[in-house]
A and B are shown apart, each in its own frame.
Chain A
Amino acid sequence: MDIAILKRVQERNDTDASDIRRLLDSRGIRMVNVMGGAGSGKTSLLERLMLQFGRELRCGVLEGDITTDYDALRIAALGVPVAQLQTEGSCHLDAALVHRGLGVLPLSDLDIIFVENVGNLVCPAQFDIGEHIRIAVLSVMEGDDKPAKYPLMFSRATIAVLSKCDLIDHTDFDISAASRFIRTVNASAPIIETGIGLPGDAELAHWLAGRPNEDEDEIRERFATTA
């Protein structure tokens, strides 16, 4: 006997993600999902953003890692509230795990929460974790073809960050090629070049501080699951 179902595979995760967004919205907190390959510079970017924000925005961080807490310790050293999410082997964060992490942060003292996802270009992009803004980080060490090889992450990004641009002269990375690949799947995300000593950090901080949160409808559209 055939049974018609027609249910989204990620329905449960998406419901959890919407619950998180509702919780954060009710407290006026925005959440940023920072995704990118292993070693692309996600934690370093967060460290530099924390310094950029200073007292202007009260930040909290959730650090997703498979087992260690090295990244959480780096953030804690800056005096920023941080909770560690250990995925225990899983290649991505999901909304349920993030929800637990939020329970550990002092939400009443925060304006913005950064979630550093597990370092890889494929899996994290599959899951809505209740964020308002998604940053896809690609370092110039990884090659300018990566947005073409891993399009989902870049197609869903609210901002694309090209990181370690201070090192670009030592690589064959072509910014216009990378940008074209990103534009192919994402018409609107700003593409920001960051790196030690470059103005991109300030630009990104400014963008994050000023941007109104996308509402649930806009986010659903970005995640549109009907082709």
Chain B
Amino acid sequence: MHEFSLAHSILEIVLDSARQNRATRVRTVDCRIGAMRQIVPSYLSTAFEACSQQSLAEGADLIVDTVPARLDCQACSHSGDMTEITFQCPSCGSTRIELRGGTTMDVTSITIDQEESNGHRHLEESAGAQRY
């Protein structure tokens, strides 16, 4: 459920930036979300799709990059990243572990089609052609 309100916040950030950059359309939205957040990416995408309708971001792909939490094992002193939160050390199986971080939630970038500088609207046809 909270995916809806997060999708809404993401949309606000995306639309702000899209307007500032004279976008005619948003094609992709990249986010980084910590594993500890337990956000279901497919729910978030569905929520984003729903709340972005009739906006510049309608139809944009939401791409979620999962940021791992940090694990320290007190039994085998293994340290590492954890993308799936479990309460066991992946190396020795001990439950004497500590988990930290993994709570990031950022919009990192968007890809847009932009108004041409002469003021004519222009839809980018071949993706990647105008990336800079």
Interface residues of B (CB under 8 A from A): 1-2, 4-6, 9-10, 12-14, 17-18, 21, 31, 34, 36-38, 67-70, 85, 87, 95, 97-114, 130-132
Number of A interface residues in the complex (CB < 8 A): 36
- Contacts between the two chains (Cβ within 8 Å), count: 115
Least Cβ–Cβ distance between A153 and chain B, in angstroms: 10
Cα(A225)–Cα(B107), bound, Å: 12
Inter-chain contact A12/B12, CB cutoff 8 Å: yes
Inter-chain contact B111/A1, CB cutoff 8 Å: yes
Within 8 A of B (CB), among A1-46: 1-13
* A224 touching B2 in the complex, CB below 8 Å, given contacts A4-B109, A12-B9: no
Cα(A185)–Cα(B108), bound, Å: 27
Cα(A122)–Cα(B34), bound, Å: 14
Cα(A152)–Cα(B69), bound, Å: 11
> Which of A78-86, A89-97, A161-169 forms part of the interface with chain B?
A89-97
Interface residues of A (CB under 8 A from B): 1-13, 90-92, 94, 122-123, 126-127, 148, 150-152, 155, 180-181, 184-185, 187, 223-227
Cα(A12)–Cα(B122), bound, Å: 32
Pick the residue among A6, A90, A184, A227 that contacts B5 (CB under 8 A): A90
Least Cβ–Cβ distance between B82 and chain A, in angstroms: 11
Complex contacts, B6 vs chain A, CB 8 Å: 9-10, 126
Inter-chain contact B36/A225, CB cutoff 8 Å: no
* Other A-B pairs, 19, CB within 8 Å; known A151-B36, A151-B85: A1-B132, A3-B21, A3-B111, A5-B109, A6-B106, A6-B107, A8-B106, A9-B107, A92-B5, A151-B38, A151-B99, A152-B38, A184-B97, A185-B36, A187-B98, A225-B34, A225-B104, A225-B106, A227-B34
Pick the residue among A1, A12, A150, A225 that contacts B103 (CB under 8 A): A225
Inter-chain contact B31/A9, CB cutoff 8 Å: yes
Pick the residue among A3, A185, A223, A225 that contacts B99 (CB under 8 A): A185
Q: Most chain-B CB neighbours within 10 Å: which of A12, A123, A187? A: A123
